[in-house]
Structures are given as C-alpha cells and as structure tokens.
Amino acid sequence: MPLLRAGTSLEFFFSWELMTLSSYLTITLGRDAVRPALSYLLFSLGSAFLILAGFAVAYAASGSIELSALGDSGVLTGVVFSLLAAGFVIKLGAFGAHIWLPGAYTEADDDFTAMLSAVVSKAAVFGLVLVAAQLGVRSEIGLDPAYVLGWVGILTATFGALMAVFQEDVKRLLAYSSMGQLGYIVAAIALMNHLGWVTALYLSVNHFLYKGILFLAVAGVIMRTGTRLMYRMGGLIKNLPWTFFAVMIAIIAMSGVPPLTGFGGKWMLFNAMMDKGWYWLAALAFFSSAVAFLYMFRLLQTVFLGQRKLEHKDLSEAPAILLIPQLVLIALIMVVSVYPKLLLDPLSAAIDPYFASTLVWEGAALQTRLGYWNAPLVMIVVGAVWAVPLVILGLLSLTLKIQPVKQFNIVYAAERPDRPETTHYAYNFFAHYERALGFLVRPRATAFWDAASEWTHTMAASVRVLYTGNGQTYALFILIFFVVLYFANGGVA
C-alpha cells in the first residue's frame, strides 16, 4: 500500500486522498448510501484539510517535506501534532465528528462494511502512530496535546458504547461499536509510551479480527432474513449455527473477558493507564467496557436466541463464501489467544526504535508493575471451568430421561402462545436504560453539524451575487485579484 511506504508528506497525502476517493466510491454502491457517502466525503475533506495544514506548518518550520523531518518543527511541534491528530481522529469517527460513521457503515454494501471497519479505519491509526513517532512527546504549548488526545479517545469509547446500546439496526449497532473500540486505540496511542503503543497495535489487530467476523456474520444474517432490524429476528441459532458460533467467539474476543484476545488487550490498556497515572481515563474505560456488555448481549439474544419467527423456520445457513473467512479469522484469534507472544514480540520490536521495551516475559507470562498475564494458563483454566459442567451434563443426559422442549412448549397465565412475537420482546430492548441514560446520547453533535450546514448555506446565498455563471465576470475577478496581488507585493517599485 503506497500509504505505508510514503517517505514524504506529499506522498502520504496523495495516498491518503486516493484511499478516501476509492472508499467513497465503494460506499456509494450501497442501495441507500448516497447521503451517507456525501457525509463521509465532507468529513474526509475536513480531515484532509487539517492534515494538509499540519504538513504545511511542519514544512514552514523545518523546510523539508520528509516525514522524518516532522520532529524538527521546534516551537510549532504542538501545533503540528494537534492539526495532524485532529485530521486522523475525524477519519476514525471520534466523538463529536462521528456523525458520518453510522450512516456510512450501515448503508455500504454488507460485504464491504467488514473492509471499511476492519481495514480502512486502521489507516487513521497508522497516521496517528506515525505522527506520534515523529513528533514524540514534546510540546511547547500549555496543554499537553497527547493528554487531550487521550480524553478524545476515552470519550469516543464511552459514547460509542452508549449509542450502540439503543440501536435497533444491527449494522448501526456494530458501527457505533467500532467507534467505541477505536476510541480505546486512540487512548492507547496517546499514552506515548512503549506499553501504550504495543497495546494500541495489539488492539488494532484484534479489532481487525473480530470486527471482520461480526460484519461478515451480520452480512449472512441480513442476506437470509432480508432485514437489519433485530426485533424482526430471533431464534436463528437453529438455522445459522455456524454464524452464531462465529459471532459468539467474536463477541468474547471483543469484550475483554477471559480467555480470548480482548482480555489481554484490555489488561494491557488498564495497566498502561494506571501506570501513567490516568486514573479517571482508566475508570471511564472500565465503565465503557461494562456498557459494551449490554449491546453485545442484545446482539446475541435478539438475533440468535429467544423465539424464532415463523417466516424464518426454513432459513438455511449463510453461504460458504462468508463462513470460510470467519473460520479463518477465528483460527487466528485462537492462536493469538494461546500464544500472544507471537504477536506482541513483533509489535514490540517495531516500537523499540521510539521507546525502550518495557515488556517483561517470564516464560509465557507477561509481567508489569501491577501484575502479570499468563495467556496459556488462562485458556486452560477457563476451558476447564466450562468443560467440567459440560461433561457432567453429558453424563446426566445418558442416565436421565430428558424431555426435549419445543418452541411453544411453555405456558403462562394458563395460555399457550402460538406465535413468537408474544414471547420474544426484542423491540426497544433497553428502554429502561434509555430513560435513565438516554439524555447522554441525544444527537447534540448532529444538531451542531446541522446548524453549521445551515450557516454555510446562508453564507453561500449571501455571496451568490458574485457567482453569476458569467465567464466574463469571472475573468474580471481574476484580473482584479492579480492587480491587487501585484500592488500588495510592491507594485512597480
């Protein structure tokens, strides 16, 4: 990819815009993607202008367009860092500039959304790491821009999780989930130390794996059911067992619970934040992780568990072209979960030129000042905890006569239901939480950008008298511009 091999700011910017253009055109292939694609393009342009401004200020300070010269910005280092970081976090869909993200992710073709979330978003992560690596932790302004970036990341994680909880559209839920998970990566980069950056890259790889699985799995569900609304689904574990298995593995890997990859990532993130003294950010990160459990539980419960709709009783499993990539990604998650050193050592080696390595291995255990993580042991213990009850249940099933429970083999209030809608209440699933926390996720950012759009239209209308569409008028404007420029630069003298 040219973006990864760019040696100058111009090469980087050209590759960045080429990526933006290609992803924009691919988003527009979605059936109702015209408006979301336009929103994506507008925010991408804002991101591009900030990045270009950052490179311009760096060039003015150092006199070089080499990316390696970004660190020679002197007193303007904080300004360059702030401009470039702002451009990259907009592309990530950070809090406040996130309104393009749910529409673009939701309305893009289902198979491309996996690429948009798992791959395209990582370009902005690469940009952040590149800028932080070249500019270091130096700042000549009063407020440390890295600390501000850390708060941007944690607020993105928190509000992304909160907004995901209240979504009915399964792709929109995953879009806000991606926003939240990328927030952790931004916060880890902002730590500006070895463990933080290793954590950021580890979380990036993990995000690529489980979000690829989730969007591909959801693509299969939508293909079979013809809907994205979760309350119209339910009980699909019987029709799509392999898809359910893939989603369950991906959710465990994302949640940060033992024994899969997410546990190690969250463990390193909390250790790095506590070691840095960012206690409030660590507390918010823990809170957003707890909130994430709500939307993950909803995804599993409303789509795959509960009562199956009558019209879905004959659905078949998702096609192999969607299942095979999911199984490959699951295999990678399992390998990294058992042997994280296979991934962490190369990541640490890549960061060593910028920060001295702080990873301390004692056999298979990774040690920090606050504790240690032994991934193989965690996998064995958790496997045993689940295996023992399964063995007991298997033995009991051989000795006891167990009556199978069918879909409507339930009775309540002396009535036996005959349709699944009467027993599966997936619609407005977290209404009680919405009454308590809904004020936090009211679309204030959308209102702000709507007002900015109206203000822009008003300004455009006021100057439209100058843009008559007449070529001679435009030629006169150009002539006046050059005359003014000529006299401003000294005129005849």
163-192 pLDDT, tens digit per residue, is: 998 888 999 999 999 889 999 999 999 888
For residue 386, give Cα distances in angstroms to 21, 71, 320: 48, 52, 29
Q: How confident is the model at residue 138 (pLDDT cuts 50, 70, 90)?
A: very low
Cα 358 from Cα 352, distance rounded (Å): 9
**pLDDT interval class at 140 (50, 70, 90):** very low
pLDDT band for position 476 (cuts 50, 70, 90)? confident
- Is 80 exceeded by the pLDDT of residue 406? no
Report which of 121, 102, 97 is spatially closest to residue 20, judged by C-alpha positions.
Answer: 121
Q: How far is CA 135 from CA 75, 153, 343, in A?
A: 12, 19, 26
Q: What angle do CA 181, 292, 229 make, to 5 degrees?
A: 95
User: Which whole number is the average pLDDT over 268-282?
Assistant: 91
CA distance 291 to 349: 34
The pLDDT score that the predictor gives to residue 423 is: 63
Helix (H, G, I), strand (E, B) or coil at 251: helix
Least confident window among 73-82, 132-141, 425-434: 132-141
Of 124, 119, 99, which is closest to residue 42 (Cα–Cα)?
99
DSSP 143: S
pLDDT at 387 over 50: yes
DSSP letter, residue 94: -
Distance CA 399, CA 387 (A): 19
pTM for this structure? 0.84
Q: Band of the pLDDT at 116, cuts 50, 70, 90?
A: confident
Q: Which of 422, 150, 178 is nearest to 295 (CA)?
A: 178
Q: What is the mean pLDDT of residues 45-72?
A: 87
**The predicted structure's pLDDT at residue 142:** 47
Side-by-side strand order, sheet with 360-362: 360-362, 365-368, 371-374
Residue 440, pLDDT above cutoff 80: no
Q: What is the mean pLDDT of residues 356-375?
A: 84
pLDDT at position 255: 84
What residues pair up with 415 in beta bridges, in sequence order? 412
